[in-house]
């Protein structure tokens, strides 16, 4: 039986137990740590899935730039200096466009910013019972929080709200979902530096013009929580979630 499955009924997969051990250490994701090879920014909703299943859901079907071929399970990550050689190997796939690994400080800053972005979007869509796989849902959620953050003009709020109203959501429901999502900060996940030599995943180019790359699991699989060596909840909701998960047994 695979390690990803429980050997006794009622007990979680070994990957989940491993994740709990990492989470119990109250670790900080430090891109300068040689044990960390990649930093992944994600949401509470994603980590809920990982704590239950021991794997990361990865790419959900949202449309991506045409020059990139995304496959189910792909994860976007920021590579650290610990995996420089592995990242160098994917440059040939990028048509001569160089990709520099960010400094540890830059990685942390970029990951925190993206974690907040995806955490709020996932929270909003979950509250409204809307799928993550719809590109327009994500675009409209981004508009809303752009207005909330003062980046977007107030005039951008109305069409975004209208999009969700057209899906049967009331203005009250939308406002409540925005308020709840606004406090979300997300998670930083530190993957082991051994990931570059793992036979279960490969490195692939990331978004054009950015400093991320993708981790691609073997066909038909997902990235396992076994690869997680550090987990950092960034907000109060995320910290409460981790405490709750650690207090539960055999779930």
- Please report the pLDDT score of residue 8 as a whole number: 42
Side-chain-facing half-sphere of 187: CA atoms under 13 Å: 30
- As given in the structure block, the two tokens for residue 83 are 């995996």
Q: For 170, which DSSP code?
A: -
> What is the layout of strands, in order, in the sheet containing 187-192?
201-205, 213-217, 75-79, 36-42, 187-192, 228-233
Q: Model's pTM, two decimal places?
A: 0.87
Task: Pinpoint the alpha helices (H) of the chain.
Answer: 14-23, 44-53, 84-88, 104-127, 135-148, 157-165, 171-181, 236-247
Q: What is the pLDDT of residue 240?
A: 96
**CA distance linking residue 74 with residue 54, whole number of Å:** 16
Please answer whether residues 118 and 41 qualify as being in contact, where contact means their C-beta atoms are separated by less than 8 angstroms: yes
In the chain, % of residues over pLDDT 70: 82
Contact, 12 vs 250, CB < 8 A?
yes
Q: Greatest CA separation found in the chain?
A: 56
Closest to 76 in 3D by CA, of 219, 216, 190: 216
The predicted pLDDT at position 169 comes to 96
Domain ranges across the chain: 14-247
More confident residue, 224 or 100: 224
> Which tokens is 48 given?
């809920």
């Amino acid at each position: 039986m695979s390690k990803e499955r429980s050997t006794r009924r009622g007990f979680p997969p070994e990957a989940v137990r491993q994740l709990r051990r990492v989470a119990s250490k109250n670790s900080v994701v430090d891109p300068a740590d040689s044990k960390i090879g990649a930093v992944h920014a994600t949401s509470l909703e994603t980590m809920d899935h990982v704590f239950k299943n021991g794997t990361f859901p990865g790419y959900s079907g949202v449309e991506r730039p045409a020059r990139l071929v995304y496959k189910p399970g792909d994860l976007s990550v920021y590579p650290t200096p610990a995996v420089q050689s592995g990242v160098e190997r994917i440059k040939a796939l990028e048509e001569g466009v160089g990709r520099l690994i960010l400094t540890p400080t830059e990685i942390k800053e970029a990951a925190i910013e993206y974690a907040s972005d995806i955490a709020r979007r996932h929270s909003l869509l979950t509250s409204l019972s809307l799928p993550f796989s719809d590109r327009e849902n994500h675009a409209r959620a981004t508009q809303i929080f752009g207005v909330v953050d003062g980046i977007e003009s107030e005039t951008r709020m109305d069409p975004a709200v209208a999009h969700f109203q057209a899906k049967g959501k009331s203005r009250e429901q939308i406002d409540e979902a925005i308020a709840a999502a606004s406090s979300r900060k997300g998670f930083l996940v530190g993957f082991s530096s051994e990931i570059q030599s793992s036979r279960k995943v490969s490195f692939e180019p990331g978004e054009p013009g950015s400093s991320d790359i993708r981790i691609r699991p073997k066909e038909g699989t997902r990235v396992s929580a076994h690869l997680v060596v550090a987990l950092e909840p960034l907000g109060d909701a995320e910290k409460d979630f981790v405490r709750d998960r650690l207090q539960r047994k055999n779930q």
